[in-house]
Chain A
Amino acid sequence: MQNPENSAPLLEVENLSVEFHTDGGVVHAVSGVDITLAPGEVRGLVGESGSGKSVTSLAVLGLLGTRRARITSGRILFRGTDLLRIPERELRGLRGSHIGMVSQNALSALDPSFPIGAQLVEVIRRHQGVDRAAARKLALESLELVRLPDAPRRLRAYPHELSGGQRQRVVIALALACRPELLLADEPTTALDATVQKQILDLLLRLNDELGTAVLLVTHDFGVVSHVCDSVTVMRRGKVLEQGVAKDVLRDPQHPYTQALVKAVPRLHLSESERAVPRQQRRLHEFSEVMASVGEAS
């Protein structure tokens, strides 16, 4: 990871607000959110469902369906360009070649009717304008980059022939095919087994190291954050509650919500005093307790 302090920020989300117009009224999915990402930085965007974390990452990609969602304020500066103010054609050019996306469900991200090699080639050709042979070579390199076993044969495989972890590797390969500077990953490992999750996260770390790709990782899991992220932003109900260096925030969270979130999860590694309590009597800190102790309803 490159030193974040010495370079101009890669991504700056400034005062972003997004509204959804539903039958039940207006929902403020995101309210006045500020996030910065330096080149090569891995930042976790943490929150529960309804926190606005996914909406934020979709906004960066310009993928919010325009029918019901409205961006009511803010700028999203990518290398100085406000993504909210450029024409769709330009945005499409950025997507794929400069900004990549990995979503939670790899099966739906891949077209089930085409072999994965063909999908990789299509993306590469569209953004890099090379001929088919060159694109195929690049596709193979991408699959090797994500350490997909037996890559040359896999080029002809269909998505359903691969396991969940392999599919996620392919999706990452697709996202990185044109070596973008920024990767948006929305719960990329939530649907995977723990052992596979670790492999995928280690892959992301390695890619971040080798390619210098910055990552904005949306997750609900602080364990993931501690393993992969340099920095973290905690969101709740559309607002940013706190952010900072991941180690610091996890060791000593400032906001009671963050404290509650970290304490409420059962843990494998317990301290001596925790282990001393007989299992029958062990209880977790309930959210309402912590929030009530700070005088706020959860």
Chain B
Amino acid sequence: MSSTQAAQRTTLSRVPRQRGSRSPGRPSRFRLGVRAFCRDKVAVGALVVLVLVALASVFAPLLAPHSPTAGDSTMRLEGIGTPGHPLGLDGQGRDVLSRLLYGGRYSLLVAVVPVLVVFPIALATGMVAGYARGRTGEVIMRVLDVLFAFPLVLLAIALAAVLGAGLGNVMLAIGITLVPYMARVAYTTTVQEVGKDYVEAARASGAPTRDVLLRELLPNVVSGLLVYATTLAGLMIVVAAGLSFLGVGIIPPTPDWGIMTSDGASVLLEGKYHVATIPGLLILVVALSFNLIGDGLRDALDPRKQTS
């Protein structure tokens, strides 16, 4: 029984050529990603929560029933359900709900802005270090290791103390502490991807370093870093709140959730729980939401999950 035979004449098939870069009926990658995200109900819920909180903060001037800074000391420490003050008042007679709404602006800004700003810096640093390996890579990572040596929160506190209080300085302090963490994740992801076949295949196709980094590695490193960044945002809410709690964050009487918790802590002994607990709970909810969104993002960004 023979397995080989002489070749038949091969005919090239003639098929009409297609114009345009997308075949009809095929949803874009973005839409597929959105669909994959929506399959994670919990992530969608968390996104809704976050959006609501953000909107509430943005529209604070419209939504807040009272001034967040002016207090009526005759009504200090009134509890939840007080007419006109649904969430009660704090130790200086300020409306808790209004302070929460205005405070959200600062807390959310401090959580999100440093992460956003540091993202490209860390991505570039990590990718360059991860691709270069050898001397350059080692040097970069050792420098970052110095920053790593300090516990995150301690470093943030030290920087904030040095720079002084205030929103801008807090964001700067947090941003600096974030750099080694994000860069490390970008670095390890890059190192992992560089060893894979598709990178070598790109080189074998003649790709110069620039193309390997930007076309091949970037999409694969960004996704991982993005997921990590969302969890960091959640953590930063807590860290920023901690900084304010310790007095090296926002300058009073500007409200933010951290300082509200701190103020509330001193009146806990008077039996007034609402002042500290409510902002504390909100911090928890928002941080958790960020984490859950991160989970959903991971699935949304995985090309294998993006079946149409």
Residues 173-197 (chain B) with a chain A CB within 8 angstroms: none
Q: Is the CB of A263 within 8 A of B3?
A: yes
Q: Is the CB of B1 within 8 A of A281?
A: no
* Size class of the contact patch on chain B: under 10
Known contacts A267-B3, A284-B3; 18 additional CB pairs below 8 A are A264-B3, A265-B3, A266-B3, A266-B4, A270-B2, A273-B2, A274-B3, A277-B6, A280-B7, A281-B6, A282-B5, A282-B6, A283-B5, A283-B6, A283-B8, A284-B4, A285-B3, A285-B5
Q: How far is the CA of A274 from the CA of B7 in the complex (A)?
A: 12
Type the 1/0 row for A156-170, where 1 means its CB is closer than 8 Å to any CB of B. 000000000000000
Q: How far is the CA of A273 from the CA of B4 in the complex (A)?
A: 9
Residues 45-89 (chain A) with a chain B CB within 8 angstroms: none
Query: Do most interface residues of chain B lie in helix, strand or loop, or is the interface mixed?
Result: loop
Does chain B have a CB within 8 A of A298? no
Q: Enumerate chain B residues within 8 angstroms of A283, measured Cβ to Cβ.
A: 4-8
Residues 253-279 (chain A) with a chain B CB within 8 angstroms: 262-267, 270-271, 273-274, 277
Q: Enumerate chain A residues within 8 angstroms of B2, measured Cβ to Cβ.
A: 263, 270-271, 273-274
Q: Enumerate chain A residues within 8 angstroms of B5, measured Cβ to Cβ.
A: 277, 282-285
Q: Is the CB of A282 within 8 A of B4?
A: yes
Type the 1/0 row for B1-43, where 1 means its CB is closer than 8 Å to any CB of A. 1111111100000000000000000000000000000000000
Q: How far is the CA of A104 from the CA of B4 in the complex (A)?
A: 31
Residues of A within 8 A of B (CB): 262-267, 270-271, 273-274, 277, 280-285
- Give the number of A-B contacts (CB < 8 Å): 39
Residues of B within 8 A of A (CB): 1-8
Q: How far is the CA of A263 from the CA of B2 in the complex (A)?
A: 7
Least distance between A23 CB and chain B CB atoms (Å): 9
Q: How far is the CA of A285 from the CA of B7 in the complex (A)?
A: 10
Q: Enumerate chain B residues within 8 angstroms of A274, measured Cβ to Cβ.
A: 2-4
Q: How far is the CA of A281 from the CA of B2 in the complex (A)?
A: 14
Q: How far is the CA of A285 from the CA of B1 in the complex (A)?
A: 11
Which 5 A-B pairs give the minimum distances between C-beta atoms? A282-B4, A281-B7, A281-B6, A274-B2, A274-B4
Q: Enumerate chain B residues within 8 angstroms of A262, measured Cβ to Cβ.
A: 1, 3
Least distance between B201 CB and chain A CB atoms (Å): 23
Q: Enumerate chain A residues within 8 angstroms of B4, measured Cβ to Cβ.
A: 266-267, 270, 274, 277, 282-284
Q: How far is the CA of A283 from the CA of B3 in the complex (A)?
A: 8
Q: List 5 A-B contacts (CB under 8 A).
A: A263-B1, A270-B2, A277-B5, A281-B6, A283-B6
Q: Enumerate chain A residues within 8 angstroms of B8, measured Cβ to Cβ.
A: 283
Chain A residue with Cβ nearest B5: A283
Q: How far is the CA of A280 from the CA of B5 in the complex (A)?
A: 11
Q: How far is the CA of A283 from the CA of B2 in the complex (A)?
A: 11
Q: How far is the CA of A280 from the CA of B10 in the complex (A)?
A: 14
Q: How far is the CA of A265 from the CA of B1 in the complex (A)?
A: 12
Q: Enumerate chain A residues within 8 angstroms of B3, measured Cβ to Cβ.
A: 262-267, 270, 274, 284-285
Least distance between B308 CB and chain A CB atoms (Å): 13
Least distance between A20 CB and chain B CB atoms (Å): 18
Least distance between A162 CB and chain B CB atoms (Å): 25
Chain A residue with Cβ nearest B8: A283
Q: How far is the CA of A284 from the CA of B6 in the complex (A)?
A: 9
Q: How far is the CA of A264 from the CA of B2 in the complex (A)?
A: 10
Least distance between A271 CB and chain B CB atoms (Å): 6
Least distance between B64 CB and chain A CB atoms (Å): 47
